């Protein structure tokens, strides 16, 4: 079994979309990340040096979203997966991005991408 670290319901405002209003006004997005990694060394040592620092990953994701202007949530999701995979312990990352206001009459729309090292 693979160990997992997750970031759940990270709510950020982003410029993302193909429509004119989406290019000029930030909209709420919800990001969920699940990272697979062998956490056995951290379990034994109880040291942050032996695990994935999800605070650092989260800060990198926030910086990416704050400074990006993607047209597609698919591209944004892959960029977030790349951030996760930049940690040497992470072997795979599943990224879900939802746009709560994307479709009338729907709670949200979004994508799920999974990338492996």
CATH of the domain at 82: 3.30.1130.10
Q: How does pLDDT run across 31-87, given as a tens digit for each residue?
A: 999 999 999 999 999 999 999 999 999 999 999 999 989 999 999 999 999 999 999
DSSP label at residue 47: -
Looking at residue 103, its pLDDT comes to 87
pLDDT at residue 8 in the model? 98
Q: What range does the domain containing 59 cover?
A: 3-116
Tally of domains within the chain: 1
- Cβ atoms of residues 72 and 113 within 8 Å: no
């Amino acid at each position: 079994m693979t160990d997992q670290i997750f970031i759940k319901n990270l709510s950020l405002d982003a410029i993302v979309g193909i429509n004119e209003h989406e290019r000029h006004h930030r909209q709420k997005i919800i990001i969920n990340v699940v990272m697979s990694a062998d956490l056995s060394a951290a379990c034994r040592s109880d040291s942050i040096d032996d695990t994935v620092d999800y605070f650092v990953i989260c800060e990198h994701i926030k910086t990416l979203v704050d400074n990006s202007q993607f047209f597609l949530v698919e591209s944004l999701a892959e960029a977030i997966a790349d951030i996760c995979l930049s940690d040497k312990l992470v072997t795979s990352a599943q990224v879900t991005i939802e746009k709560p206001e994307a479709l009338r009459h729907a709670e949200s729309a979004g994508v799920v991408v999974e990338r492996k090292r």
